[in-house]
Structure 1
Amino acid sequence: MKFLELYFRKTFTVDLRALAVMRIWLAGIVLIDLGIRATDLEAHYSNMGVLPLYVLHQFLWFPQLFSLHALNGMWQFQAVLFMVAAVFAVFLLVGYRTRLATIVSWVLLLSVQNRNPLIGQGGDDLLRMLLFWGIFLPWGAFYSYDAVKKQQPDLQENTSYFSAATVAYIMQIALVYFSTAMLKNSPEWHTDGTALYYALSLDQILMPGGRLIYPYPELLRFLTLTTYYTELILPFLLLIPVYNNFFRMVVVLVLLGFHIGISLTLFVGLFYLINIASITGLLPGPVMDWIDRKLLRVFRKPYTKEFREIFARITQQPKILSFQVSLHQSIIEKDNRRYIRNVLVAGMLLYCIWWNLGTTHLPVPKMPEGSKWFGYMFRLNQHWGMFSPIVFRDDGWYILEGKTEQGTLVDLNQQGGEINYTKPASVVSLFKNDRWRKYSENYLFVKNGYMRPYYCHYMMRIWNESHPGKPINQLEVIYMKEPSLPDYQVSVPTREVLCSCALAAE
């Protein structure tokens, strides 16, 4: 047992300053995410949009799910919740009532994600889990209003911290990459090396950096195999108890380059920023010493020598023995709470590990359906199936073919221009943001056929409201399907009408 305790302490101890940097970064991402989502309050979160509440509850809801955003279908109600979330995200950013700010930010993030699952992606799951584990982490100990107010000199001398929550945080990162590698069990990932070729063949997510490397098949094969084995092997570096600082920095630098590369080649929204933020908490003490000295010391109030001396005298004077006794009792109470918290976190971590490994092809028993309610309630359910087991092949682009009262056909995606079935120069530019791109991806699946009429009617209504001089009375959502073929072959696009809607006859 002593050996096991020593192993865990050497492997899963983190620097409190690094946790604080991660807190600040994640709070900033929450604010950015709220800003992006707020541009579609009506479309994505109201009964007038693409997913009314009754449709959500009929097709996408579990009894265990929770969402304040699902209590009302008016966009004004959503706006209020968004403002509350923004306020607490700012509190988290500056470290004011940090634990409370973390809890509220997590609850409201979980709530808004549950309101519209059709626009979610893997980065959302990671952001949600990081905030969840952050509830149990003291990431307000540095670079925060709380730290300045409390003026705890002991934290100035020792910035190392270990608990069940640090184990959960590091294991969460390891699970993300190991699980996604295990799910990539097709030859295109670990033998043929064609996965990145197919990913860059998707015009819906292709970025300029991807266009530059796309013509080089050998380079793409090398990068594919490198990606697979990086995700497979890198997590184990986090579990090595010796040369801990060195291996942590290897993980941080490799994943930093990895996600910057993804952002330059593929349109993934906030996914890369969330993943980069997740590894900042791994920064070792010597690195944080330099960052603290050069960049961040200005953000926290230094503790003076005089204050330290006063604190030492207070805790040592016999005349305040009663203070010392109460302090001792307080420490015992804190130890008891810490023990309970560690047991609770350890149990939830084991639950998450079982959930993750049970989704892969490893010989691990699947989690019983009767045990999943807990995961759905607290949204501990995870599936890191990015481009797995194979990369999506049904590429193409959308045409919103509207018919005016005069019988003229216009494309709403081209600001009402003449219908043109030629592929746009940039398919990515058709999407307002990554939320709409993800929605359009889900729109393709036959199992999601229920969602199609609501989008069709929404787009027709919005067009008519904003173009009263050029209204349409009919709309067809057309997908120009261009499946990705091997060896740079180009398929002939086919026209598929996914949905057709019209104004009701008067």
Structure 2
Amino acid sequence: MSSMITGGGKSTFRSFYDSCIAPAFYMDYRSLAFGRVMVASYLLADIFFRALDADIHYTQWGQFPASMAAPLLEYRFTLHLFNGSYIFQLFMFAMAALFAFALLIGYHTRIAALLSYIMLASIQNRNVYVLDGSDDYNRMILFWFILLPSAKRFAVDAVRTQPTYTAQRIIRNRDVGTLGDKTMGGGAQPNQSHISLSTLGYMTQFTCIYLFTALLKHGDDWHVNLNAVYYSLNLREFNYGLTWTLLQYPDFLRFLTKATLLFEYLGPILMVSPVLNPYCRIFSILGFVGMHAGFGLCINIYLFIFIPMVAVSTYTPSLIWDYFDRVITSVRERHMLTIYYDSKANDVQQLHEDGIFVDESAQQHGEELKSRYFSVQFDGDIYCDYQAFVVLVSQSWLLWPLQSIVKTKPCCQFLSTICSAFVDLFNSRDSFGLKQRKQAINNTSGDKRSIGRILVTIVIPLIFILYVPYWNYNGYRRSLDATYPSPKFATWAYIFKADQWWGMFAPNPPKYSRWLAVPAQFENLQDVDLLNDLKQVDYVANPVYTFNSGQRQRNFLMSVIYHEEIRLNYGRFICRTWNINYPNEGYGKLKTFKIVLVQRLTREPGDDTPNDYFKEDIWTHTC
């Protein structure tokens, strides 16, 4: 009797797992790979735009020198304080870009993700006054890619560690989609879906972002009069695009307020729905993309628009990938392309073991296929070496726009040299052979591998699964009651950069717009605004610098409004800029300037009376 009960219990649990847990909490390996590429691409864009102003924000002679940054670190760390020179900062950005590129192509993926996370945390800690909510979002999403198996597909690591699968996947693509696993929803292939504490942790983090974003919006403008979107669109330092059109429809804005708040609650839940999960995920993904794209059409928040789109890409259901597999298979069958790798090699079986497919008919083509590296047969013609590479680029659904570039002679010479060096390097069996790599792995300590596996797959994910909701809940409680105690282990959260805050436009959007004007007196030019292309000071006109100075500089200038401690060094930076770095003989030397805070009150909906403007001198500086 007991054995029957036990057996029945196992069957019941398995049934519950297959019907509820697996369809809701899985992530497709292809989606994880796609998310990895998106995260790395976002990192590269962020690095690029930060590097444009590296001398302003991260050097000793910038707006925020090391002497000010060091005392604010407390338990945080930053490698960017080792040297305050411009060259060193560019070197650090180059290293960050290198790690992000390694993450993009999936080369030593976990290490690349870890190093990218360290570099991202370091640059964020170096200057906290240029940060906004997108930085927390980016950092927390990147953290989970240290733990997620995002290199199983579309990665160099997939070729290095799973050669047999890769070869079969490329050559026998016509079988894709025929091995569906109904428990994964949408016909996922048996080994395409992944469930672990890491996937659960990623979903927990994503849910916390939007759940606590919604909870923190507990003001009347979100729940009673529904004017939150109206006040958000009236922020002169942010609004542009469709703002003025939407402001003509106050009832529609109230609907958007209600819809935004509702979707921030329901969107993450739909991602893990056990019923019709693929379709719920598609609806939720489109909802998040549409919501943030809508924000971007009305409010200038720079890269903040894109990081949520990056985050939801990892939820892409399997049926989407299976559909694309069928389409690509159909195209490949119409335009058959065969790759012959190392056609001069005699040990064809050895190449098969290394994950390289060599068609048996290669021997029939004789001299035509005797290339140094590889050959391609396409539409009856045979191409060798670099010409074969050009054909592959032209037939790639991702790289085809580059075919006109790779056909040029300078590009041909450059890439041929690079490829020749790399191929010769990797063909060296003594250093980089797959058998040697496998042997080296087998010779390492099994105990160390087991400990590392337990840390990555169980201990670290479990700690963050428990702590991230606790941290966010604590922040929510403190937003309601300032006397509520700070979270436990906050020091460790700051060290590992797990601290986060999702309170944009919470509890209500501001009912005023704030920006700066900097009226200056040169020797030969008077009363011009340094933040408005040296035009005459106009305190009523919409600010220009908030749209043309870049995300980081705008954030820093907004910090100048609220943080008096950075105004002195900002003033010194202005004097150096105009009198030393970029002097103008026509204007003469910059003598004095003021930093003026301009505030514009937003009228209630339906009130057409002119807006009130106030200005206050918050800093006076003499050069």
- TM-score of the pair, normalised by structure 1: 0.87
CA contact (8 A) 1:453 1:500 kept: no
Residue of structure 2 aligned with 1:457, choices 572, 581, 587: 572
Which segment is superposed worse, 363-372 or 30-39? 363-372
8 Å CA contact 1:200–1:210 kept in 2: the answer is yes
Instruction: Find the aligned partners of 2:116 and 2:100 in 1 and give their Cα distance.
Output: 6
Corresponding residue for residue 439 of structure 1: 556
Question: Which is further off, 331-340 or 285-294?
Answer: 331-340
Matched, 1:380 2:391: no
Relative to 1, partners in 2 of residues 1:177 and 1:35: Cα closer, same or farther, differing over 3 Å? Answer: same
Tell me if structure 2 keeps the 8 A contact 1:14–1:284.
Answer: yes
Partner of 1:316: none
Which has the higher relative contact order, 1 or 2, with Cα contacts under 8 A spaced 6 or more apart?
1
- Contact 2:212–2:472 under 8 Å retained in 1: yes
Residues 531 and 545 in structure 2, CA contact (< 8 A), matched pair in contact too: no
Q: Which amino acid aligns with 1:408?
A: Q
One-letter code aligned to 2:489: S
Q: Distance in 2 between matches of 1:309 and 1:360?
A: 57
1:118 is displaced (CA, Å) by 0.8
- What does 1:14-413 correspond to in 2, within 5 Å? 14-58=27-71, 60-62=72-74, 64-153=75-164, 158-292=191-325, 294=327, 337-341=452-456, 342-361=458-477, 368-406=486-524, 408-413=526-531
Question: Residue 260 of structure 1 contacts residue 272 of structure 1 at CA under 8 Å; is this kept in 2?
Answer: yes
Kindly state the Cα deviation for residue 161 of structure 1 after the two structures are TM-superposed.
1.0
**Match of 1:434, as an amino acid?**
Q
User: What pairs with 1:470-489 in structure 2 (closer than 5 Å)?
Assistant: 470=587, 471-487=589-605, 488=607, 489=609
Number of corresponding residues = 485
Whichever residue aligns with residue 615 of structure 2, its letter is R
Contact 1:109–1:128 (CA<8 Å) still a contact in 2?
yes
Corresponding letter in the other structure for 1:242:
V
Q: Is the alpha carbon distance of 1:295 and 1:410 closer, same or farther for their aligned partners in structure 2, counting shifts above 3 Å?
A: farther
Does the 8 A contact of 1:203 with 1:428 survive in 2? no
What amino acid does structure 2 have at the position aligned with 1:77?
Answer: F
1:153 Cα deviation from its structure 2 partner: 4.1
CA deviation vs aligned residue, 1:339-387 (integer Å, no higher than 9, x gap): 4432321112211111112211499997755511111011111111111
Contact preservation (8 Å) 1:268, 1:434: yes
Q: Distance in 2 between matches of 1:31 and 1:295?
A: 29
Percent identity between the two aligned chains: 28
Question: SS of 1:477's equivalent?
Answer: strand
Gaps of 5+ in 1: 313-322
1:103-131: CA deviations, max 9, x gaps?
11110001000111111111111111111
**SS of 1:397 mapped into structure 2:** strand
Preserved contact between residue 89 and residue 105 of structure 1 (Cα < 8 Å): yes
Q: Which amino acid aligns with 1:356?
A: N
> What secondary structure does 2:154 align onto?
coil
Counterpart in the other structure of 1:500 = 620
1:194-238 deviation digits (Å, cap 9, x = unpaired): 111111110111021222212211111110111011112222223
Query: 1:77 Cα deviation (Å)?
Result: 1.5
Equivalent residue in structure 1 for 2:536, among 411, 414, 418: 418
TM-superposition CA deviations, 1:37-72 (whole Å, max 9, x none): 1111121112212212222233x322x201101222
On the 8 A contact 1:123/1:271 being kept in 2, the answer is yes
Structure 2 portions without partners, runs of 5+ = 1-8, 170-188, 333-337, 342-348, 356-437
Larger CA deviation: 465-474 vs 129-138? 465-474
Structure (1 or 2) with the larger CA radius of gyration = 2
Aligned to 2:405: none
Q: From the superposition, tell whether residues 332 and 152 of structure 1 become closer, same or farther in structure 2 (CA, over 3 Å).
A: farther
Equivalent residues of 2:546, 2:554 under 8 A apart? no
Instruction: Give every structure 1 segment of 4 or more consecutive aligned residues whose post-TM-superposition deviation is greater than 3 Å.
Output: 1-10, 151-157, 291-298, 306-312, 329-340, 361-370, 426-431
| 8 Å Cα contact 2:163-2:354 kept in structure 1 | no
- Aligned CA-pair RMSD: 3.4
The answer on whether the counterparts of 1:399 and 1:477 sit within 8 Å (CA) in structure 2 is yes
Counterpart-to-counterpart distance in 1, 2:522 and 2:529: 11
Change (3 A) 1:310 1:430: closer
Once the two structures are TM-superposed, the CA of residue 451 in structure 1 deviates from its matched residue by: 1.0
Aligned mates of 1:231, 1:205 — CA distance in 2:
22
Offset of residue 82 of structure 1: 0.5
